[in-house]
Amino acid sequence: MALKLFNSLSGMKEEFTPLEKGKVKMYVCGVTPYDTTHLGHAFTYVFFDVLSRYLSFKGFEVSYTQNVTDIDDDIIRKSREEKRGWKELGDFWTRRYLSDMKSLSVRKPTHYVKATETIGEMKRIIAGLLEKGYAYRSAGNVYFNVPRFKSYGSLSRFNQKQMAYLLRERGGNPDDPNKKDPLDFILWQKRKGGEPHWSSPWGEGRPGWHIECTAMIMKYLGEQIDIHGGGRDLVFPHHESEIAQAEGYTGRAPFSKYFVHTAMVMYYGEKMAKSLGNLVLVSDLLKEHSPNAIRWLLLSHSYRRVWEYDPAELEEADKFAAIIESIGKRAHGKAPKDKIMRSFEAHMDDDMDTEGVIRMLKPILSGSKDMPSAVRILGILGFGV
């Protein structure tokens, strides 16, 4: 059975066939390191870790790039609040994030890249967009000309009014008087006092958010990729704008064949977010629960369905984590291709149904039958056994 993934671009499950036979190029938007790692982050990055592992299990050669947005409005704001350098702040929280992910058995991607390491690529792409008429200069800034890209909105399926509302909510400014169109977005912004800056043909300044990921993808994976992932809240404006930049610059479509998005994790009825302060921190959970318990909790939820964190679920996960950790090193042997393994693959091939797999594993781990297959499955899912 072939793997099927829900593609946000088409709005339906599709059979996964990479651009190049046997090879997968995957990019996942990483963190902006100005604060600590919460359970919502972990939900996304554990899922894509499992997707990468499962693709490898299926025989694909996976090249996985993840970024860290180490220059951003939030980092600059936070560095001013804490009176510490933006680079020092970003490096500190990047180390903390990587430590948390390592604790959860999340493997480091093939390429883990800082945005500031690809400024040259960003400037080349911006220059190309200007040359092709997809961008314009205004008041020292460079903007992407959204109306010039006719399919803008094809990923999110939002209308103009919805896009303008979300742009304002998610850090954009549809009222910027220097824009030709309210939906136009910054590619390069002019230098402001006290902010980090780089030289460019358009004056000193720094890149906009969206161009950073486009440049990193092209540098490490190429002009077209198989899977672009991230949280659902990145669909607009971030991923929508990435498509416009990349396809405008290269003239090649699709920029990414599949867009895969994880749902939000809720707590006290609101999306878990730094801005709201309703965070469940991974570092705090690790003080009282094993990494296997946290991983079990996360994988017991469908990656596409919004869910509310409930401490009682983590207590149940503790019980199964204790069983997993008592199994020992038997995961290194190969299990036969039996009914349990076939059922595991059927669940995973159906849009990475880890929830179904966890449900299947519960009675096995509670008894003794079919344990070799269960151990094999746990290893594929990245549990420490």
270-271 and 111-114 beta bridge pairing = unpaired
* pLDDT above 90 for 101: yes
Mean pLDDT of 164-192: 92
- Buried-state track 303-341, b at ≥16 Cβ within 10 A, e below 16: bbeebebeeebbeebbebbebbeeeeeebeeebeeeebb
What CATH class is the domain 17-265?
Answer: alpha beta
| pLDDT for the residue 331 | 44
State in Å, rounded, how far the first CA of the chain is from the last one: 27
- 17-265 and 310-380: same fold? no
98: exposed, middle or buried (Cβ count in 10 Å: 0-12, 13-18, 19+): middle
| pLDDT for the residue 272 | 81
| pLDDT for the residue 332 | 46
| pLDDT for the residue 268 | 84
Asked if 58 contacts 341 with a C-beta cutoff of 8 angstroms, the reply is no
- The CATH code for residues 310-380 is 1.20.120
* pLDDT above 60 for 330: no
**pLDDT bracket for residue 371 (50, 70, 90):** confident
| pLDDT for the residue 171 | 78
**Could you tell me where the beta strands, DSSP code E, fall in 59-134?**
61-68, 111-114
* pLDDT above 60 for 102: yes
| pLDDT for the residue 335 | 54
CA-closest candidate to residue 361, choices 335, 384, 381: 381
Mean pLDDT of 351-376: 90
| pLDDT for the residue 36 | 84
Round to whole Å and give the CA distance between 250 and 160.
Answer: 25
* pLDDT tens sequence across 25-61: 999 999 999 888 899 999 999 999 999 999 999 999 9
CA geometry: angle 147, 152, 155, nearest 5 deg: 170
Percent of the chain with pLDDT over 90: 83
Mean pLDDT of 86-114: 95
Top mean-pLDDT range of 9-13, 157-161, 380-384? 9-13
| pLDDT for the residue 270 | 81
**pLDDT bracket for residue 259 (50, 70, 90):** very high
Length of the chain, in residues: 385
* pLDDT above 50 for 380: yes
**pLDDT bracket for residue 12 (50, 70, 90):** very high
CA-closest candidate to residue 155, choices 29, 239, 223, 229: 239
| pLDDT for the residue 334 | 56
Round to whole Å and give the CA distance between 346 and 353.
Answer: 9
HSE-up of 315 (CA within 13 Å, CB side)? 3
CA-closest candidate to residue 65, choices 239, 226, 208: 226
Crossing angle of the two packed helices 354-366 and 339-349, in degrees rounded to 10 = 160
Q: How far is CA 302 from CA 57, 85, 189, 252, 331, in A?
A: 20, 39, 39, 33, 24
Kindly report which listed range (120-129, 228-237, 277-286) carries the lowest average pLDDT score.
277-286
Top mean-pLDDT range of 241-255, 315-329, 371-385? 241-255
Mean pLDDT of 306-331: 87
Longest dimension (CA), the chain: 70
CB atoms within 10 A of CB 362: 15
| pLDDT for the residue 154 | 96
| pLDDT for the residue 194 | 85
Asked if 108 contacts 244 with a C-beta cutoff of 8 angstroms, the reply is no
pTM value is: 0.95
Mean pLDDT of the chain: 93
* pLDDT tens sequence across 299-308: 999 999 999 9
Domain definitions of the chain by residue range:
17-265, 310-380
Percent of the chain with pLDDT over 70: 96
Mean pLDDT of 230-243: 97
Residues 6+ apart with CB under 8 A from 219: 113, 118, 121
| pLDDT for the residue 351 | 98
